Amino acid sequence: MSQAPARYTRVAVLFHWALAALLIGTFIGGELMVREWVPNRFTLYQWHKTFGILILVLSAGRLLWRLSHKPPALPGDTPAWQRAASHGTHWAFYVLMISMPLLGWAMVSASSLPVPTELFGVIPLPDLPVAESEAAEQRFKDWHHTGAKIFFALFLLHVGAALWHHFGKRDGLLSRMSLRRR
């Protein structure tokens, strides 16, 4: 078997930070647009859907890259529960990065409201082949909401772990995902 590399590949690092920025922005935009006091909610919805679909496309590419490129190994002294937590968090992120946009897409496809989705204001998004019904729309909405909560919890866990490695354990783990080459 080939040896694990010392750091993530340049492509994996670019995927990581581009998707982190898009996901955080889409999450915050989603939380804002559902509140009545927020201005320009319609525009926010359209951008939420545009960035959500962009996340889907990039995540599919990232998943293929991840499956075909070995990640660096965790430090040798990492306890088994931390290895499991790390792998579990990473794979749960992949599941959410693919399923959240699909659920959002299914939600708007099931809606009977005549609101077309135009990605970047120009590309029409076709409907997914799901039944158009209020019950189906509500079900996808509930799952999308639950996914958003799980995403937020994982995000806190992931960033907490990264900061603990950097400032507490000081084992240089963050530099394996750094945009700068050392």
Our finding on whether 12 is near ligand HEM (CB under 6 A) is yes
Angstrom distance (rounded) from CA 38 to CA 49 = 17
Q: Which of 100, 110, 137, 140 binds ligand HEM (CB under 6 A)?
A: 100
CB 1 → ligand HEM: shortest distance, Å? 19
Residue 53 near ligand HEM by CB under 6 A: yes
Site residues for ligand HEM, window 62-81 (CB under 6 A)?
66, 71-72, 74
Q: Which long-range contacts (CB under 8 A, 24 or more apart) does 9-14 make?
A: 9/65, 9/69, 11/65, 11/69, 12/62, 12/65, 12/66, 12/69, 12/71, 13/177, 13/178, 13/179, 14/179
Q: Which of 5, 16, 25, 139 binds ligand HEM (CB under 6 A)?
A: 16
- The binder of ligand HEM chosen from 10, 83, 90, 170 (CB under 6 A): 90
Assess contact for 133 and 107: CB atoms under 8 A.
no
Per CB under 6 A, 143 contacts ligand HEM: no
In the bound state with ligand HEM, the residue whose beta carbon lies nearer, of 86 and 136, is 86
Q: 54: Cβ–Cβ under 8 A, 6 or more apart, which residues?
A: 22, 119
Specify the DSSP element, H or E, that contains 83. helix 80-110
Among 144, 135, 159, 126, CA closest to 30:
144
Query: Using the rule CB under 6 A, which residue among 108, 110, 137, 140 binds ligand HEM?
Result: 108
For residue 179, which of 4, 18, 6 has the smallest C-alpha distance?
A: 18
Structure tokens at 14: 């670019």
Binding ligand HEM by CB under 6 A: which of 155, 157, 171, 172? 155
Count of helices and strands (H, E) across the chain: 4, 2
Number of chain positions touching ligand HEM (CB under 6 A): 46
In the complex, the residues that contact ligand HEM under the rule CB under 6 A are: 12, 16, 19-20, 23-24, 26-27, 30-31, 34, 48-49, 52-53, 55, 66, 71-72, 74, 86, 90, 93-94, 97, 100-101, 104-105, 107-108, 117, 141, 144-145, 148, 151, 155, 158-159, 162-163, 173-174, 176-177
